[in-house]
Structure 1
Amino acid sequence: MGREIELKLDLSEEAAGRFARWDALPDREDVARLRAIYFDTPDGQLADKGLSLRIRQSGRRRIQTVKGEGSAGGGLFARQEWERPVRSLTPVLDSKTPIAQALGEAAAQIEPLFETDVERMRWVLKEGEAQVEVALDRGAVRAGEREAPLCEVELELISGPPAALFAIARRIDGAMPVRPGVLSKSERGYLLRESMKNAVKTEPIALDPSMPIGDAFVRIASACLRHYRRNEALLLHHYEERALHQARVAIRRLRSALTLFRPFLLESDVARFQQELRWLAGMLGEARDLDVLNGRLADAAARETLADAREQSHARVIEWINSARVRALLLDLAEWLALGAGCGGADTPIADFAGARLQRLHKRVVNHGRKMKTLSPEARHKVRKDAKKLRYGAEFFVGLYRDKKHERARRTYVGALKGLQDELGDLNDLATAPVLFARYDLAADTPLGLRSAKYLLKKAEKAHDRLAEAHPFWR
């Protein structure tokens, strides 16, 4: 059994062609065609247990590889792996791999699910004291009749510190645009078997109550970065308003994580990442505001008036996410998380920390939201932002409270919190509408498809009361 440490970088086919001719690469390279078949049970039991099984063929040589679950921080994959030569394309499931033990009798159900077929160009680079294998893979992933292109660079650490991988990645990005890749080849195959998505929502975050705070933060922040990158990849393919929304949710979640864990992070790190993430969220904000407004408008003529502004804002989104500044931010975040995020004094178990932070946010939302009808729009907006932070925190830590004792309370509480967010969101849309109407030359009396402020305030007040009465599930 070995341990693989590699950094994946996504790039376009055009950038891949430039990379293959990059003058910083050695003159000698290996070129091979690699076909890999991935196996699992029909219901994906191996994937559920964090394992992947493949047989890769190059020429007459066949290698079976089992990869285990490991850390995947924004493109850096550190995983256990078991490799062995095999004679055929039938997996060998003996005691030398964890497959039989993990699946038991279900191991007999293992069958081919999908395959990758790539041309791999390979070089070895030296970066300071480190030695790194550089591979450019171009080809396809196939599952049944479905096929998706595959184009990525893998930087695998042979020896030396992991920071060398990011140094090389930055040099590559200086010559052609690349981004941290957050999907393994096996994940690409499993996704190809599912129905195609226009946006990717948050994934569950596995936390253990005894996990140190520093490790928990890295896992949470890495999940946020993965959430953003998956939706950014959809936007780079074509603009989709739900993908933009989820990309902005990912940014807000990451900013909330930085705030929640601030006592254990270097202030300089928090400041620089909050500044850049705030900038990115702002750059994407206009398009999101126009998408929401367009969805609210019942009048076709009003939607037509917005059409040009929306189209221009969508084009700017693609321009910004393609910028060197965004790519640099993603690489900086990926490296920071891969190297531990500088979490100081963060050995305390996460369970001791999570409840206290959630309770603090809960009290703030409950206390500041009292007498909703008398609050100014600005004060209500602040309650709305705090409610979002509370919801993100609850989602981050929910894995710590999945036992039967907490389950009913968790469902009730999260439902009440979501209800408050929805009502405050409608109020915010109503309050900001006049500014947007004036900016985009819409009549002040344009129907917005919302009830009156008095009605919405009454609903928001009731939603706040339900949250205040809900039992905090972490207690």
Structure 2
Amino acid sequence: MASETKREIERKYEATDGTRPPDLTRVRGVASVRDRGVMELDAVYHDTPDLRLAADQVTLRRRTGGDDEGWHLKFPVAAGVRDEIRAPLADALPGELAGLLRSRVRSAAVVPVVRLHSSRDVRHLLDASGGLLAELSVDTVHARRLPDGPETSWTEIEVELADDVEPELLDRIGKRLGKAGIRPSSDTSKVGRALAETAPDEEDDRTARPAPAPPGSAGAAVLAYAREQVDVIVAFDPAVRRDLPDAVHQLRVACRRLRSALKTYRRVLDRKATDPLGAELKWLAGELGGARDQEVLDARLRARVAELPDALVLGPVRARLRRRDAARATDARRRALAALDSDRYLDLLERLHRLLDAPPLRKDAARAAPEVLARAVRKDHRRLADRVDRALALAPGAERDLALHEARKAAKRARYAADAARPTLGKPAKRLAKRVKAVQSLLGEHQDAVVARAALRELAIEAHGAGESAFTWGLLYGREEAAAADAARELPRVWARARPRKAKAALTP
């Protein structure tokens, strides 16, 4: 039986054994309140021994009792909003949920950490037609740290919005509860509160490990950026598995940003340690690239066909495009998921975390961040200048197309370098990143047109071989040729705003 996903929008409030909710029919939109009785819930929460899920506000539980017993995995979306993925009740953690946890738990075991018994007194808030608006529950909770740790108890009120109900209702309910003296809880989840209140003494007394690089140093700045990208990889792994919009793109960009930073800041982190990681990040981005590149190409070709008058669309153009898109998208997704399930990827995650925990710092890591980062950004920018100048010196054709593509990759690296330096260099780095991004976008338009031409040629050959008209494919090919030519003509003007002399001035606060 497959899992299901539910968007959970809720708020929690402090309560005592004697707390009673006020009359909520005085809340605008609530016509009646129906008492649904008390249900007994027994939930065992799981995590790694070092509580990696709790650190990311991710919860995993196996719960019996109630009308939704089973395995529940919750990912934070925003304050008070979580996505809950449910799987049927089973003794062992279902494989699909284990996959969604892989980037966070890595090779660590997932074990029971807390057991919660809750007596839940449930009320349904209904509209005038009897439709469910929200569920309010008064939960009396008893928690025990596993396997045989301390215990704690508390009472709380939880208000969860029903599907397709506007969140403003929660504001009105909260205002009514506030007037009755019921205050919002500072805890975001039951398991978070349970872990905090049952923490062993040695866990409470732990002191933070000293930072590997002093604040304000180049090492601290580069490591902070690297950690940010690793966190994005970890967070978007389950989103890719769930096939959420833009997830593949975000994960791939994080791989590229991190790989670029490891190259740009080789004077801060020893390349003997970072170059092998860069190679693995390149591999991962490449495995994800098929899915992302296919998304971009599909959208571009569909848009090009939609722009044509019906009189110029000859033959089953849209049907052929749909068949091609579906087949290639399936293959690309299968390849991406195979990469995320591989031992090679798991090893990469472990090595990235070891790098962050024990970074191979070089001499420049101890120096002041502004000087070191500005010098690295300028170096990448000069590299971009060399590639742009070379491309502009070539005549139109395949060689220039390749040179412009290489310039585009250099523009990405220069932009990522400036982005990484923004917390240190501020507005100057932001201005430079914006100028280089304009160059990158224009070169990206050129490359997209080149890739589209190759795809259109294949489609024309397939159509001709099937006895269909190839007219429309040829027409679109010509339009992509014109788009590439337009981008190349526009490049000198856009590049003029981001040349090295501009970069040097831009990085001067």
Unaligned runs of 5+ in 2: 1-48, 61-70, 72-86, 95-106, 119-138, 145-151, 158-182, 306-317, 395-399, 464-469
Q: Distance in 2 between matches of 1:392 and 1:423?
A: 16
Residue 490 of structure 2 is matched in structure 1 by 459
Instruction: Quickly say closer, same or farther: Cα 1:34–1:350, change in 2 above 3 A.
Output: farther
Structure 1 residues 161 and 328: alpha-carbon distance in aligned structure 2, compared to 1, 3 A threshold? farther
**Aligned in 2, Cα 1:263/1:419: closer, same or farther, shift over 3 Å?**
same
Q: Secondary structure at the match of 1:264?
A: coil
TM-superposed CA distance for 1:344, in Å, is 2.9
1:331 to 350, 363, 375: 350
Tell me what 2:250 maps to. Answer: 246
Question: What is the CA distance between 1:452 and its match in structure 2?
Answer: 3.4
Question: Aligned in 2, Cα 1:465/1:349: closer, same or farther, shift over 3 Å?
Answer: same
Q: Given the alignment, which residue of 318, 321, 325 partners 1:303?
A: 321
Residue 435 of structure 1 deviates from its aligned partner by 3.9
- The match for 2:331 is 312
The residue that corresponds to 1:234 in the other structure is 239
Q: How does 1:196-275 map to 2 (within 5 A)?
A: 211-240=216-245, 242-275=246-279
What's the offset of the Cα at 1:215? Answer: 2.0
What SS does structure 2 have at the residue aligned with 1:219? helix
**Cα shift at 1:257:** 1.0
Check 1:347–1:87 CA distance in 2 against 1; reply closer, same or farther (3 A cut): same
| 1:412–1:272 CA distance, 2 compared to 1 (3 A) | closer
Give the fraction of aligned pairs with identical amino acids, expressed as a percent: 23
Taking structure 1 as reference, are residues 119 and 354 closer, same or farther at Cα in structure 2, changes over 3 Å only? closer
3-state SS, counterpart of residue 238 of structure 1: coil
Distance 1:311 1:372 in 2: 36
Instruction: Supply the AA of the counterpart residue of 1:8.
Output: R
Note if contact 1:255-1:277 (Cα within 8 Å) is conserved in structure 2: yes
TM-score normalised according to structure 2 size: 0.54
One-letter amino acid of the counterpart of residue 33, structure 1? L
CA contact (8 A) 1:209 1:351 kept: no
Pairwise CA distance, 1:247 = 0.9
CA distance in 2, matches of 1:333, 1:431: 35
Partner deviation per Cα, 1:13-70 (whole Å, 9 max, x = no partner): 58995479xxx999x97752189xxxxxxxxxxxxxxxxxxxx996389xxxxxxxxx
Q: CA deviation at 1:393?
A: 1.1
Q: Find the counterpart in structure 2 of residue 398 from structure 1.
A: 422
Greater relative contact order (Cα 8 A, min sep 6): structure 1 or 2? 1
Partner of 1:8: 52
Residue matched to 2:289? 285
The 1:16/1:400 distance shift into structure 2, 3 A limit, reads farther
Residue 81 of structure 2 is matched in structure 1 by none
Once the two structures are superposed, residues 378-398 of structure 1 have per-residue CA deviations (whole angstroms, 9 ceiling, x without a partner) of: 222221111111111111111
Instruction: Specify the SS of the correspondent of 2:190.
Output: strand
Instruction: Name the residue aligned to 1:365.
Output: 384
Pick from 456, 474, 488 the counterpart of residue 445 of structure 1.
474
Q: Compute the displacement of 1:337 (Å).
A: 0.7
Q: Partner amino acid for 1:447?
A: L
CA distance in 1 between partners of 2:194 and 2:340 (Å): 28
Shift of 1:454: 2.4
Tell me if the contact between 1:33 and 1:119 (Cα under 8 Å) persists in the aligned partners: no
Residue 78 of structure 1 is matched in structure 2 by none
Match of 2:369 in 1: 350
Whether contact under 8 Å (1:213, 1:348) holds in the other structure is yes
Q: What CA deviation, in whole Å up to 9, does each residue of 1:56-91 have, x standing for no partner?
A: 996389xxxxxxxxxxxxxxxxxxxxxxx999879x
Shift of 1:410: 5.1
Structure 1 458/7 Cα, relative in aligned 2: closer, same or farther at 3 Å? farther
The match for 2:188 is 115
Q: CA deviation at 1:421?
A: 0.9
Q: Is the 8 A contact 1:290 1:310 kept in 2?
A: yes
1:456 is aligned with what amino acid? A
Aligned residues: 324
**Taking structure 1 as the reference length, what is the TM-score of the superposition?**
0.57
Q: 1:411 to 1:261 in 2, by over 3 A?
A: closer
Secondary structure at 1:447's aligned position in 2?
helix
CA–CA distance in structure 2, aligned partners of residues 417 and 333 of structure 1: 28
Q: Which of 445, 465, 469 matches 1:426? A: 445
- How many Å apart are 1:315 and its aligned residue? 2.5
After superposition, the Cα gap between the structure-2 partners of 1:445 and 1:315, relative to the gap in structure 1 and judged at 3 Å, is same
| Structure 2 CA distance for partners of 1:415 and 1:456, relative to 1, 3 Å | same
The range that moved more, 433-442 or 217-226, is 433-442
Residue 387 of structure 1 aligns with which residue?
Answer: 411
Q: Does structure 2 retain, via aligned residues, the 8 Å contact 1:372–1:457?
A: no
Classify 1:268/1:427 alpha carbon distance in 2 versus 1 (closer, same or farther; 3 Å): same
Cα 1:239–1:87 change in 2 (3 A) is closer
Larger Rg: 2
**In structure 1, C-alpha distance between the alignment counterparts of 2:392 and 2:346, rounded to whole Å:** 44
Compute the displacement of 1:118 (Å).
Answer: 4.1
Q: SS at 2:451's partner residue?
A: helix
Work out the CA distance in 2 between the residues paired with 1:302 and 1:460.
34
2:415 maps to a residue whose letter is R
Closer/same/farther in 2, CA of residues 214 and 16 from structure 1, 3 Å limit? farther
Query: How far 1:254 sits from its partner (Å)?
Result: 0.4
Give, in whole Å, the separation in 1 of the partners of 2:319 and 2:475: 10
Q: For residues 426 and 30 of structure 1, what CA distance do their matches in structure 2 show?
A: 51
Tell me the SS of whatever aligns to 1:265: coil
